[in-house]
Amino acid sequence: MIPTTWLSVVLFVLFVAPGLLFDLLADKRRATGPQSPFREASRVVLASLAFTSVGIAVVSLVRVIHASWMPDPRQMLGGTREYLIEHLGALLWAGALELAVALGCAWGFHQVLVVRHGAPLRQVSAWKAVFRDDVPVPTVGVAPAPIADVAVTILVRVKLLNGTVFTGQVAHYTADLELPVREIVLGPPLFSKTGSNPLTALSTDWSRLILAGSSIESIAVQYQLPQP
């Protein structure tokens, strides 16, 4: 539901933002697959309820200590528009304090869970891990000194679900999209084979070959380091 009035926007920020923040932080802490909208919404609502309750409790405590700093809840909910206008500063202060406490609790509880359960996790596809994170760094000489501005060539052997095999150099790829819409683009040298036939070079007239992720059975990867 999208808030459409100023009051609904304020309520959305005060009562939903803490749960959204905690859920966004939780995505860094755990690696989970796609979830139903109902489960995601329920998790946000429950987290918002818990953290917002803490914020309201702090606001109530401040009112008990110094009543003039906070608006009167009975007057605020059942009072006139004049009361809200006259006590606008107190209303803004109460809302800001409640939101700050709720967001702080969400962030603090996230940090506690990180300490208890280890370093944050990220969902990383195997394509990104193999084509970017695992690519070796070229070195030169005895000491492992990186070679500047020299790229490692990534060659792949792609077997499709229908048995067709293509080989070539990785030119582009989409790593973190869902597999049905993920693609890999191969560049020369391009070869293909079907069945038990040997690999055959594709015509040099073709510069790129686009393969859909949903049609791929397996990918074998080879890193070619530059010659010193």
Q: What one-character-per-residue DSSP string does 80-117 give?
A: -HHHHHHTHHHHHHHHHHHHHHHHHHHHHHHHHHHHHH
Looking at the whole model, is its pTM more than 0.85?
A: no
Residues 9-64 pLDDT 10s: 666 777 777 887 777 777 666 655 556 666 677 777 788 888 888 888 888 888 77
CA distance to 75, 79, 158, 183, 197, per residue, from 189 (Å): 77, 77, 13, 19, 18
CATH tag for 126-224 (out of 3.40.50.1820, 3.65.10.10, 3.40.50.300, 2.30.30.100)? 2.30.30.100
Q: What CA–CA distance (Å, rounded) separates 112 from 127?
A: 32
Whether 1 has a pLDDT exceeding 50, the answer reads: no
Residues 108-157 pLDDT 10s: 888 887 777 665 555 667 888 888 888 887 765 544 545 555 678 899 99
What mean pLDDT comes out for the span 100-107?
86
Name the phi and psi angles at 120, rounded to 5: -60, 150
Lowest mean pLDDT among 66-70, 103-107, 140-144, 158-162: 140-144
Is 47 in contact with 25 (CB distance < 8 Å)?
no
**Domain positions in the chain:** 6-117, 126-224
CA distance to 13, 34, 84, 98, 122, per residue, from 31 (Å): 27, 10, 45, 31, 6
